[in-house]
Amino acid sequence: MPSLLVLHGPNLQALGAREPVLYGTLTLAAINERLVTLAVRSGVALQVYQSNIQAKEQHTDFIVINPAAYGHTSIALRDALLAVSIPFIEVHLSNTYARESFRQRSYLADIATGVIIGLGVQSYELAVEAACQRINNEFSQ
């Protein structure tokens, strides 16, 4: 049987409740149900997947994120990070300022607690150390 994958982007789990004037009142589950019905009628297997920042549901206190190219291109990722209201550090393995001009702009930097770039794996290590320190400071107060 042929198969089809439908990918839903960030924040769409809130459909039905999130700004219904703009997005309607159907939930993502209801939309998926309709899509499965259409696919089954056509003899196609359908999988659906929704990508989101699940940090609130996991009781996350801080985020370290390597957005890769999404940092330079994704307003949706910015909106998702703003929606969860959890402090985060943006990490990049390469020095984005030494690369193409379009990589020198980040849609996340101005809302990030900090940005660490260009230090390879050490970028992650420094971000995790800083995040742990901030979490521990917050919980010790």
> Where does residue 48 fall: left (phi above 0), alpha (psi -120 to 50 degrees), or beta otherwise?
beta
Residue 108 gets which letter from DSSP?
Answer: S
Contact 92/123 with Cβ under 8 angstroms? yes
Separation in Å, CA 2 to CA 12, 120, 133: 26, 41, 50
All structural domains of the chain: 3-50 (no CATH), 63-140 (3.40.50.9100)
SS (H, E, C) 11-32: CHHHCCCCCHHHHCCCCHHHHH
pLDDT at 19 over 90: no
End-to-end CA distance of the chain: 58
More confident residue, 109 or 21: 109
Residues labelled catalytic? 23, 92
Structural contact between residues 118 and 94, judged by C-beta atoms closer than 8 angstroms: yes
Lowest mean pLDDT among 13-17, 57-61, 84-88, 107-111: 57-61
Q: What is the pLDDT of residues 29-45, one digit of tens each?
A: 999 999 999 999 998 98
Average pLDDT for 92-111: 93
Contact at 8 Å (CB) between 48 and 13? no
pTM exceeding 0.95: no
Q: Is the pLDDT reported for residue 27 higher than 90?
A: yes
Whether 5 shows a pLDDT value over 80: the answer reads no
* Order of strands across the sheet that contains 63-65: 63-65, 88-92, 114-117
Inform me whether the pLDDT recorded for 57 exceeds 70.
no
Which has the closest alpha carbon to 48: 15, 78, 83, 82? 15
pLDDT score, position 112: 97
